[in-house]
Amino acid sequence: MSKTQVLLVGAAGETGGSIANGLLSDGRFDVIALVRPASIHKPAIQRLSDNGIQIRKCDLKAPEEHLIEALSEIDVVISCVGPAEQQDQIPLAKAAKKAGVKRFIPCGFITVSPPGGVMWLRDEKEIVYNQIRQLWLPYTIVDVGWWYQLSYPRLPSGRVDYAMTSGNDEIIGDGNMPTALTDLRDIGRYMAMIISDPRTLNKKILAYNLVSTQNQIYQLMEELAEEKVDRNYVPEETICSRVVAARQASETYPFDPIKFIPRYLAEYQYSWGIRGDNNPEYAKYLGYHLTTELYPEFQPTDFREYLESVIRGTAKGVYTDRVISRKHQRHFPRTESSDSPIHSHFPADRVQRIPHVAMI
Ligand SMILES: NC(=O)c1ccc[n+]([C@@H]2O[C@H](COP(=O)([O-])OP(=O)(O)OC[C@H]3O[C@@H](n4cnc5c(N)ncnc54)[C@H](OP(=O)(O)O)[C@@H]3O)[C@@H](O)[C@H]2O)c1
């Protein structure tokens, strides 16, 4: 049987890298990476090529005829672009419709949350989903739990610092909010099943490994590391105030990652830590199908074993090669819609007033 031809956008990124690995090791797919010309000489792209991935050079901002050409003979498109590039997927979706692509997976891969003002990043993605539906383009939206790789606290000894993206020393609220977790490395294995499954066409899927609370994660980390970790509980009012401040600071355009990163980080904490959105039961209510029900035979990476590898010093950190600089600024040619319901989510009496300062 001929292999399914998959065009992967963002194959050198964190999510895209997991998906490239998962599809290649499954064996049923040819993986073709869409790489923008500016990145073609990056060592990460050479590594993709060495692993048997074909490279097609094209920017998402290229003229439509170039995108259609890049999509020739492609069955499935999977997009894993970063937060700033969500709407660049719209021309790709239009070209995919014209090229006859059989399934388009836009860049979801975010924690569960409702659209409409809770999370800016969610709303950026929903704009793309609406465009896809207007095109009547076959699609699957895949969201995932909070990555294992971002979930655990720092140890006072510093021995897990090598694998940490940030200090991660905050417990949101009382720490008892259940949240879905997914090993970043399992996303590709989930995708191999999801894109081959007719049941997932035109559906939303939550791919997750387990549900845990921050208190449970801290306890497990202490037990495995035999180290005491201080508890730094951050109350709901502080999280809400941070969200408001980050929204105020990010209101101006052009898009500035220095201001938007604090915004979407605060909104993530608000969504999964305070509202409790990132939960399989709520996902089902929102219309998601769960991988635990679709694929009961799937063996996810065990969270305890993952934490043991972190403590042992053999885990791989995420975003270890990143520098955010002003050169990544870009223009968003639209007005912000997700600020408008701010007071329905953050009534004035619940929010500490914050001076209008830039968040750095
Ligand atoms: N659930 C969680 O815990 C969690 C955590 C983090 C992120 N996420 C989600 O995962 C999604 C993907 O994030 P990530 O961190 O995996 O991404 P990432 O590592 O930043 O990678 C983004 C990729 O997109 C490529 N790209 C950007 N613009 C492009 C263009 N115009 N043309 C072609 N390629 C382009 C980049 O290529 P270059 O090499 O050319 O730059 C890069 O390979 C995010 O949208 C976020 O919602 C979820």
- Report if residue 352 sits inside a domain: no
> Residues 6 or more apart from 356 whose CB is under 8 A from it?
248, 249
- The bridge status of strand 146-147 relative to strand 210-212 is unpaired
**Is the same domain home to 123 and 108?**
yes
User: Is residue 335's pLDDT more than 50?
Assistant: no
Say if ligand 1 is within 6 A of residue 88 CB. yes
- Report if residue 109 sits inside a domain: yes
Say if ligand 1 is within 6 A of residue 34 CB. yes
pLDDT per residue as tens digits for the range 90-113: 999 999 999 999 999 999 999 999
Say if ligand 1 is within 6 A of residue 121 CB. yes
**Is the same domain home to 78 and 216?**
no
Q: Give the number of other Cβ atoms within 10 Å of residue 115's Cβ.
A: 15
Pick the last residue of a domain from 190, 207, 224: 207
The percentage of the chain sitting over the pLDDT mark of 70, rounded to a whole number, equals 88
User: Is residue 41's pLDDT more than 80?
Assistant: yes
**Is the same domain home to 192 and 166?**
no
**CA of 191 relative to ligand 1 center, distance in Å:** 16
Whole-number Å distance between alpha carbons of 218 and 231 = 9
**Is the same domain home to 46 and 162?**
no
**Is the same domain home to 90 and 230?**
no
- Report if residue 291 sits inside a domain: no
Section 111-128 average pLDDT: 96
Say if ligand 1 is within 6 A of residue 120 CB. no
Q: Which atom of ligand 1 is nearest to the CA of 85?
A: 28
Active site residue 316: no
**Is the same domain home to 71 and 155?**
no
**Is the same domain home to 132 and 261?**
no
Say if ligand 1 is within 6 A of residue 110 CB. yes
**CA of 351 relative to ligand 1 center, distance in Å:** 32
pLDDT at residue number 1: 79
Whole-number Å distance between alpha carbons of 292 and 330 = 39
Say if ligand 1 is within 6 A of residue 83 CB. yes
- Cis check for the bond before 254: say yes or no (omega within 30 of 0): yes
Q: Which atom of ligand 1 is nearest to the CA of 147?
A: 3
Say if ligand 1 is within 6 A of residue 118 CB. no
Identify which has the larger pLDDT, 15 or 259: 15
pLDDT at residue number 254: 61
Confidence category of residue 37, pLDDT binned at 50, 70, 90: very high
Confidence category of residue 350, pLDDT binned at 50, 70, 90: very low
pLDDT per residue as tens digits for the range 225-260: 999 999 999 999 999 999 999 988 887 656 677 778
- With the most atoms of ligand 1 within 8 angstroms of its CB, the residue from 7, 8, 35, 36 to mutate is 36
- Report if residue 134 sits inside a domain: yes
User: Is residue 134's pLDDT more than 90?
Assistant: yes
> Residues 6 or more apart from 77 whose CB is under 8 A from it?
6, 7, 9, 71, 92, 96, 101, 103, 104, 105
Residue 250 contacts residue 256 (beta carbons within 8 Å): yes
Of 94, 102, 125, 284, catalytic:
125
Domains: count for the chain = 2
- Report if residue 251 sits inside a domain: yes
**Is the same domain home to 200 and 104?**
yes
> Residues 6 or more apart from 339 whose CB is under 8 A from it?
117, 247, 251
- Report if residue 355 sits inside a domain: no
Tell me the whole-structure pTM to 2 decimals: 0.91
Alpha-carbon distance values, 278 to 76, 179, 261, 355 (Å): 27, 5, 20, 30
- With the most atoms of ligand 1 within 8 angstroms of its CB, the residue from 8, 15, 59 to mutate is 15
Say if ligand 1 is within 6 A of residue 124 CB. no
pLDDT per residue as tens digits for the range 187-201: 999 999 999 999 999
**CA of 10 relative to ligand 1 center, distance in Å:** 6
| Domain limits for position 55 | 4-143+182-207
- Report if residue 22 sits inside a domain: yes
pLDDT at residue number 289: 98
Section 25-37 average pLDDT: 97
pLDDT at residue number 321: 73
Section 200-220 average pLDDT: 98
pLDDT at residue number 360: 26
E strand residue ranges, 201-303: 203-207, 210-212, 233-234, 288-290
**Is the same domain home to 139 and 87?**
yes
**CA of 86 relative to ligand 1 center, distance in Å:** 9
User: Is residue 338's pLDDT more than 80?
Assistant: no
User: Is residue 261's pLDDT more than 90?
Assistant: no
pLDDT at residue number 347: 44
Say if ligand 1 is within 6 A of residue 80 CB. yes
Q: Domain with 164 in it: what CATH number?
A: 3.90.25.10
- Report if residue 214 sits inside a domain: yes
pLDDT at residue number 252: 65
**CA of 281 relative to ligand 1 center, distance in Å:** 27
pLDDT at residue number 355: 35
**CA of 181 relative to ligand 1 center, distance in Å:** 19
Residue 156 contacts residue 227 (beta carbons within 8 Å): yes
- The bridge status of strand 210-212 relative to strand 179-182 is antiparallel
Section 137-158 average pLDDT: 97
Section 196-217 average pLDDT: 98
Section 321-348 average pLDDT: 43
pLDDT at residue number 186: 98
Identify which has the larger pLDDT, 249 or 60: 60
**Is the same domain home to 15 and 136?**
yes
Name the residue with the closest Cα to ligand 1, atom 44: 82
**Is the same domain home to 125 and 224?**
no
**Is the same domain home to 52 and 198?**
yes
The chain-wide mean pLDDT, for the chain, equals 89
pLDDT at residue number 161: 93
